[in-house]
Every structure is written in structure tokens, then in C-alpha cells.
Amino acid sequence: MTKIVTIAPELSFQQDGTPYSKQFNDIYFDSESGYKQSEQIFLHGNDISNRIKQESKSFVIGETGFGTGLNFLLTLQMYHKLQQEMVNKKCPKLYFISVEKYPLTKKQLFKSLQALPKLSYFADLLLAQYPTFENGNECCNNELKDFSITFFNDQVTLKVIIDDAAQGLSNINSPKNGFVDAWYLDGFSPAKNPEMWSDQLFEQIGRLSKAQASIATFTVAGFVKRQMQNVGFRTQKKTCTGNKHEMLIGIFQQNPNSHKGYQLRSTITKPQQVSIIGGGIASACAALALTKQGIKVTIYCKDNSLAQGASSNAIGALYPLLHQQADDISLFYQQSFWRAKEVYNDVIEQGFHFPHQWCGLLEISYKESLVKRQQKFNEFGTWSTDLIHSVDARKASELANIDLVHGGLFMPNAGWLSPQDAVKQIINAAKTTGRLRVENNVLVTEIKHKQIDKEKNLNNTNNNQANWQLITNKGQFDASVLVVCGGAEALNLDWIDQLPFSSVQGQVTSMKSNDNINKLSTVICHKGYLTPSHKNVHCIGATFNKDSTCTTAKAEEDQFNINMLSTCLPELTDKIDWTTQDIAMSKSRLRCMTPDHMPMVGAMPDIQKHIDTYPHLAKDKNWKYNQVAPVIDNLYVMMGFGARGLCSAPLAADILTADLCGTPYPVDNNMLFNLSPNRFVIRDIVRRKTPL
């Protein structure tokens, strides 16, 4: 870096003691609300406290515009508080890198910080080490291009680079995958200091960002948002208090220079209206999430009421699929589970009640292989105890409120709910927005891509034109953006039939309760499952038939469910003494499955264009491509939940909503691709198969 001569900024001080830049004709901060607003925008906007708690080694914050050091001091204060709170874990090291073209002199900094008495302790720590490089108005820092100082026994390092923001950042060497975890995009406003907010600045921010890096700024200027998006951030406006009523946050999730363009998702202008084909838990969750974002939704349900397909069972268990190690599928279902609980509880708190009990779930170790599995869970300790932990037979009996001869793995936050009632209440919650319409008894038999006059619609990017035509038993309906959330009945629709979905039949049997089982107080899983009583009925099941499309309940499948319970838990079955005479009801439905047991959510891939765009993946799976995955415009898929829709549909709905609104995704890049409909196309290209 070349030697730099800087001129101390020319300041004046207002009546309340806050500094004012004569050069940029703007305040550094507002004493009335600046403290709280900076904390809200930069610390809370980046979720700094929680993320540092979760980090084990180090955390890096990048900042544009050190100014008076307010943001750093707030961060230092927060870190000091964390050190006091985290008694059982050492705080990770914090590196704070800031770029400042016009650094304040020590005298200017001292006077400026007098206006922030709440930060005086931390201000004194900064001032004690802040360099003295002043001589009248000209800074004698010909040799000073940056300075670094440490705090709290070297746990916190502050580095200030004295340079233009873009130039200063460009001289930082970065690992291939970036190294900055969070950005404070500060400085004087774009209107006051347009030179700083350059294309080159955002290019450097993108270059230095880790995957999932966050960014927050006080400005919501359109060009700032676009620049953030261009370098890979998914952005979202949020309200805030103080003089600034809105703030902009973002997550670095779509790096255009990742060389894995097939993992990047296409972007569209947020639509005003979305049409959904379906009527179960997936459709309900999608409608709720979309209407909350101001989008009007129409659901086309083939039945005379909602939740008549796979979501129609009397009782459904809500729990995550977990393996001993934190593999991709377990991580997905863990996150899905907590999100599902959050969504369902929120609906209930709004007054839309449905039968449920978060009574926990016991996976019974009824055979030697499951006992060894239970021991492995203990040995690895992968998951938190509030998610899953081991219990012996005595504790299992206590939790279940019945005698059990085996221990197992207990999920204390799991439980059961009535899927049909839950779907209807989620729909009712969405209807309160005034943006949801449900059309029952509408069977979609065909979807057609409408031919749009491209010349007339060349400048129309609002996705409000009729892009799709739905052929139904009640005539034709137009759709601008179409989401297919149907179950197995949707597999033969055009476009959808190109994806590797399969249909698996399952039958659930409802058994009448009796005195020997009515006290059961938790869900029990063995090879199948047994639920507590709801309306004097327990559900057991379920069958799993890949080669059947029958939705008529069969006596032999009821007997299979009874026998499965008897085989796995004979001591309990002997006490209950159920026979086919105790069957209250049976339901046979079709589950929509995927080959890897993960749902699909995202834009419908254009398969032929994938083949044409990424041919070299067949030779080298690491071949570098920056081209974004080609898709069928305005057609989205949210399907393939199998028997776990209650757990995974709410998170999938959040991902779909982020797709349509351009907001940050709730999952990381790896998980996002694991859920993308085009993942199977890419896998087949890599394996040199004809896709699908």
C-alpha cells in the first residue's frame, strides 16, 4: 500500500455536543436516537450477539466508515456483556476491521465521545490506545496507513484502515471462501458522500464475504439494494425506530462468483398474486407465508373441503428425523421441526386453535440394534437435550404414563396435532390478511404455458400478466405465478411429471381407547407409531406400499398395523388387547415421495437447458459454471414431503416465499441446493445419465 497523507476532518459541534462534518454537511450521529439506532441497525440487524455465542473460534466484522467509533464501541460493550454471561464457554475472538478515509484526531474523538456518556468506559479504553497523529490541521501520518489495537487480553482486535473504502478493502487478502462474517455498511449517506457508495465497494464486500455473511445499513436507497443483490446478497427492508424509519439487511447467499451457477436460484420481481394447486398442509403453510408478505393467493383444491388427502388423518405426530451424526437430512429436519413448532404456536396464539399436545415423543429401543443406536446417540452427543436425549425403561414409563419394558430416545418438544384441523386453522389465519381465496371442488387436469407477446410485455417485469392457464373441471383459470403444492394426485400434471416424484400408499388405523391405554401421555414410535388418545381414539400405523395407488382402506392393512405394534411392543400390546373389533376408522392415502427423502421447493427447472448449459459436469463434477440455473419462468414446486409434511412444510413455505420476494433464505446454500428441484437433473448429468 502506498503512503497516505490525510487531512483531519473539519468538524463543528452542535449544542448537544454531537460532531458535525462540514465537508459532508451531515452529523456523525444523533445523540437522542443515534446510540439506540446504531445498535438496532448494525448489532441487531446482523444478530451479532447470538452469532458470536454460536461461534467457536473467531468472528469478523467489517465496517465502512469508522467515524467516531460508535458502532465499534457498541460492539465492544456487547462483547464485554457476553464475556460475563458465557461462564461455561469462552467467547470467540472478535476481529473488527473498519475503513476510514478521514480519521478523527484524538482530540476530535475525545470531544465527540463526550456526547455518549453511556459508553464512557469503553470510550476510555479506545482513547487510551488511539494513535496521536495530529499537528494542527494536517495529520502527520505519512507512515500510517492503518493501525491495530487490542482489548480484553487480545480477545478483541480493532484494525482501522486509513483509505477510501473500496481501495482499502481491495488491499485485504482473503481466503477463497471469504472471511468476513458481518458487515456494518455505515458512513455518510449516499446523497452526502456518493463517492464511497461505488460499484467497486460492493464488489469488494462480495469478495471478502463468507457464505451466509450478513450486512446491515441505514439506507434503503434503491441502488444500494440493487448493488447488494448484484454481488450475492438477498435483501430485506425492516422497520426501525429513531430518525431512520427503515433499514436494509442482507445475507450473502447467492454468490455470482461461486463457480456453481447451477446452485443459484433465479430471481423475479415480487408478484402481486400467486395461484396454488393443492389443499393440504403444504398449501396452507405456503398461503400463510405469502399472504403475510402482502401477496394475494388463490388456492385451487380438488376436494369439497381442505385437507382431504394425506393431511386428513385424525392424529399426526410432529417430530424431526434425526441420525446420530449431523448429516444433511438430519440438519434439515431439525431446523424444520423448530420452525414448524414456531409457526403452529403462532397460529394458536392468534386464536386459531386446533387439537394438539406438545407431549414429547419416545422412540422405543425395542431390539438390540436400536439399543446400540441409542448408545451411539449418547456417545456422539450431536444434538441438544431439548431436542433428543436417552432415557431408560423406568424414565420412559414415567414419561409415557404407562409401563414400558424398554428405554429409548425421548424428544421432549415433539408431540401430536390434528392435521385436518391444523390446515383449516392455518388457512383461517391467512384469511385474516384479506389476501386469500380458496376455490374448492376445482380439479386441475392440465396446466398450459400461455404464449405471451414478448414485444408487448418487454418492459413488464411485475409478473402480473397471465403466464399460465389451468384447465379444470370448472373451466379455465389464468395464473401469473403458479405454485404446485399438490400431493400424489399432481404427479401426472404437465411439467411436474418430469421430476422424479413417486407415490407411496399408506394406511393409518384409528383404534378405540380403553382403560389400559387411555393414560398414554406421549407419542410412541417403534417400527410404526402409537399416539395418545384424542376424542377417545389412538392412531397406529402406518403401512408403506410403493406399488399401490389404492385409497380405499383395506382390512388386511388394519391387521398389519395391529400386528406391527404387537411384534415390536408385545408386552404393551398384550395389556391393550386390541382386535379388529376395536377399529374406529381407517384411512388410506397416497404420499408424494422423492428419491432422497427430502422435499422439493423452488422454481421448476428447464431440464433440456440444464443439459445444454452444464455438459462438462459429466466429465468433471467440479467444472466451474457461473450461469444461473435455467428454469421455467413463474412455475414453482413445493412437493415431496412424504410422511413428514407436518414437520417440513412450514420451513419449505419460508423458502418459497424468499424465492418469490427476493428476501434472505432461512437456510444456508448447501441446504438450499439439497431442496432444489434441479438437484436431480444435476446429479444425473454428473452420473452421465439421461436426466430423469
Please state whether the peptide bond connecting residue 618 to the residue before it is cis, i.e. omega within 30 degrees of 0: no
CA-CA distance, 281 to 312, in Å (whole number)? 10
> pLDDT tens-digit profile of 445-503?
999 998 765 444 444 444 678 899 999 999 999 999 999 998 888 999 999 999 999 99
Mark whether 29 and 67 lie in a shared domain: yes
- Which CATH number does the domain housing residue 90 bear? 3.40.50.150
Three-class DSSP labels, 405-468: CCCEEEECCCEEECHHHHHHHHHHHHHCCCCEEEECCCCEEEEEECCCCCCCCCCCCCCCCCCE
Mark whether 167 and 277 lie in a shared domain: no
Structure confidence at residue 458 (pLDDT): 45
Mark whether 378 and 295 lie in a shared domain: no
Dihedrals phi, psi of 84, to nearest 5 degrees: -75, -30
CA-CA distance, 633 to 606, in Å (whole number)? 9
pLDDT above 70 covers what percent of the chain? 95
Mark whether 84 and 191 lie in a shared domain: yes
> pLDDT tens-digit profile of 65-79?
999 999 999 999 999
Residue 42 lies in a domain: yes
Number of neighbours of residue 460 by Cβ within 10 angstroms: 12
Is 70 exceeded by the pLDDT of residue 611? yes
Mark whether 659 and 546 lie in a shared domain: no
Number of domains in the chain: 4
**316 bridge partner residues:** 417
Which of 554, 572, 593 represents a domain boundary (last residue)? 593
- Residue 391's domain spans which residues? 361-412
Which of 593, 622, 653 represents a domain boundary (last residue)? 593
Pairing of strands 58-64, 180-185: parallel
Confidence band for 33, pLDDT divided at 50, 70 and 90: low
Confidence band for 15, pLDDT divided at 50, 70 and 90: confident
Q: Which residue has the higher pLDDT, 382 or 459?
A: 382
Mark whether 231 and 212 lie in a shared domain: yes
Residue 633 lies in a domain: yes
Confidence band for 62, pLDDT divided at 50, 70 and 90: very high
Specify whether the CB–CB gap between 150 and 104 falls below 8 A: no
CA-CA distance, 45 to 66, in Å (whole number)? 18
- Which CATH number does the domain housing residue 279 bear? 3.50.50.60
Residue 325 lies in a domain: no
CA-CA distance, 498 to 31, in Å (whole number)? 60
Specify whether the CB–CB gap between 592 and 664 falls below 8 A: no
Confidence band for 140, pLDDT divided at 50, 70 and 90: very low
Structure confidence at residue 31 (pLDDT): 66
Confidence band for 680, pLDDT divided at 50, 70 and 90: very high
CA-CA distance, 205 to 177, in Å (whole number)? 12
Mark whether 81 and 134 lie in a shared domain: yes
**591 bridge partner residues:** 504
Mark whether 615 and 639 lie in a shared domain: yes
Residue matched to cell numbers 404455458: 449
What global pTM score does this model have?
A: 0.93
The 8-class DSSP code of residue 279 comes to -
Confidence band for 20, pLDDT divided at 50, 70 and 90: confident
Is 50 exceeded by the pLDDT of residue 179? yes
Per the structure block, which three cell numbers stand in for 3? Answer: 503512503
**DSSP secondary structure letters along 472-495:** ETTEEEEESSEEE---GGGTTSTT
The stretch 293-309 carries a mean pLDDT of 95
CA-CA distance, 692 to 689, in Å (whole number)? 8
Residue 636 lies in a domain: yes
Helix (H, G, I), strand (E, B) or coil at 8: coil
Mark whether 225 and 134 lie in a shared domain: yes
> pLDDT tens-digit profile of 523-582?
999 999 999 999 999 999 999 998 778 889 999 999 999 999 999 999 999 999 999 999
The stretch 224-249 carries a mean pLDDT of 91
Residue 513 lies in a domain: yes
Residue 317 lies in a domain: no
Per the structure block, which three cell numbers stand in for 595? Answer: 428419491
The stretch 224-228 carries a mean pLDDT of 95
Per the structure block, which three cell numbers stand in for 25? Answer: 454537511
Mark whether 54 and 138 lie in a shared domain: yes
Specify whether the CB–CB gap between 87 and 121 falls below 8 A: no
Structure confidence at residue 614 (pLDDT): 96
Per the structure block, which three cell numbers stand in for 48? Answer: 451479532
Residue 509 lies in a domain: yes
Mark whether 109 and 229 lie in a shared domain: yes
Confidence band for 32, pLDDT divided at 50, 70 and 90: low
Mark whether 202 and 291 lie in a shared domain: no
Which of 373, 392, 412 represents a domain boundary (last residue)? 412
Residue 468 lies in a domain: yes
Specify whether the CB–CB gap between 446 and 471 falls below 8 A: yes
Number of neighbours of residue 316 by Cβ within 10 angstroms: 26
- Which CATH number does the domain housing residue 536 bear? 3.30.9.10
> pLDDT tens-digit profile of 403-441?
999 999 999 999 999 999 999 999 999 999 999 999 999
CA-CA distance, 173 to 182, in Å (whole number)? 17
Mean pLDDT of the chain: 92
**Alpha-carbon distance values, 250 to 145, 231, 368 (Å):** 30, 11, 49
